[in-house]
Amino acid sequence: MGSYSGARTAVVVGAGVAGLTAATALAREGWRVEIAEIGPPEAASGWGLCLTGPSLRALDELGLADACLAEGYGMSTITHVDVDGELADEVRPPRLIGARRPAMAGIARPALHRVLRREAVACGVTVRHGVTVAAVDDEHEHEGEGEHEAEDEHEADELIRVRLSDGTVRRVALLVGADGIRSATRGLLGLETTPAYHGQMVWRALVPRPSWATGIHQFAGKTDTAGVVPLSDERAYVFLTENGVERNTLPDAELAPRLRDLLEPFPGLVEELRSLVPESEAVVRRPVLTAFLEGAWHRGNGVVIGDAAHAPAPQTASGAALAIEDGLVLAREIGWHETVGAGLEAFADRRTQRCGTLVETSVTVAGLEREQRHHEAYPLVAACHRFMAEPA
């Protein structure tokens, strides 16, 4: 770590949406922050995501909404189409960052991560790749072992001892586990939850943007659900939720032909989306998993945030919003409290109900989709957006 004399120090595990925004928010509060990311640079997986209003609002608080809009595609409508190809409804989510800017944005994940990382680094955050957390201990068990250790110099805080996979040891005032739904930090802190599978696999294919795709379009099928999200003037991603399937993997070569088969029964505009799949650079297929950490989200001065604490199903497009909000609220609550422990307590108090409600609703939506009860699922997704529009 650098040489900010007297600054409080933090290790953040994971350079995803939650980790990068938390690191930036903490650095702006005067923290010296190091991120340990297990993957290589530019390894953001998935083709893209929708930044809904609450995501844009939280990014705007970090001064990053306009950079994301410039890299992505601003949009303000969600169109739902019935099984027979008829319009079911058109939702216009509230414009949470003002009437002159769009309600949502589609953005490629690598582009979003680039914006977030650029800002983190500009704020003095160190991002190390190919590194993970190997062990976490209460610091008093290791007093006097400080040979290779970098130590926090802030007097008011308890310290937490973090050993990284490259053998370096940090004694810091805060450990943030932002390492996703399969979080290793969560287990090392003794906080346990098991991700649940919901009998659905989600598909994504990056395709040229059809000219009519200027908002999110979702199409109900007899078995599955499909749609398209624009990512830029040139590109969009096609999505499909495959219902009632075993959780398994398919060989890469089978993905594009299989996605075309699954899109085949849909009428209307989906036929055009289907014709674009062979032009896709690649197709990805992932299980729909959810997780929610019941009880404490922190132990001592270690805490988990983002998907590591609460991962909703992708149908509500709200996981990134929750992750970004977490970073902002975490830095703020710690800043307002005398000790890190008290700040973490306040953080969890503020976040548990909002995140729990969202995860629970997303599981209900996934269940309704699985049973082809789209007319019940659509209003629930709209209710989710209204709920998320309330301040974090």
Ligand X SMILES: Cc1cc2nc3c(=O)[nH]c(=O)nc-3n(C[C@H](O)[C@H](O)[C@H](O)COP(=O)(O)OP(=O)(O)OC[C@H]3O[C@@H](n4cnc5c(N)ncnc54)[C@H](O)[C@@H]3O)c2cc1C
Residues that bind ligand X (CB under 6 A): 13-19, 36-39, 46, 49-50, 55, 132, 178-180, 184, 202, 286, 306-308, 311, 314, 317-321, 323
Between 49 and 344, CB nearer to ligand X? 49
Rounded distance, CA 80 to CA 88, Å?
5
CB of 66 to ligand X, least distance (A): 18
Query: What type of residue sits at position 1?
Result: M
In order of 52, 312, 369, the CA distances from 244 in angstroms are 28, 19, 10
Rounded distance, CA 291 to CA 59, Å?
24
CB of 91 to ligand X, least distance (A): 15
Which H or E run contains 386?
Answer: helix 374-389
Q: Which phi and psi angles does 75 have, rounded to 5°? A: -155, 160
User: Which residues does 311 contact at the CB level (< 8 Å), separation at least 6?
Assistant: 180, 181, 195, 289, 290, 291, 292, 319, 359
Between 157 and 189, CB nearer to ligand X? 189
CB of 338 to ligand X, least distance (A): 28
CB of 86 to ligand X, least distance (A): 25
CB of 45 to ligand X, least distance (A): 8
CB of 317 to ligand X, least distance (A): 4
Rounded distance, CA 170 to CA 189, Å?
16
Q: How many Cβ atoms sit within 10 Å of the Cβ of residue 175?
A: 28
Between 157 and 315, CB nearer to ligand X? 315
Rounded distance, CA 244 to CA 331, Å?
41
- For 112, what's the count of Cα atoms within 13 Å in the CB-facing half-sphere? 30
Between 157 and 224, CB nearer to ligand X? 224
Between 157 and 303, CB nearer to ligand X? 303
Between 34 and 152, CB nearer to ligand X? 34
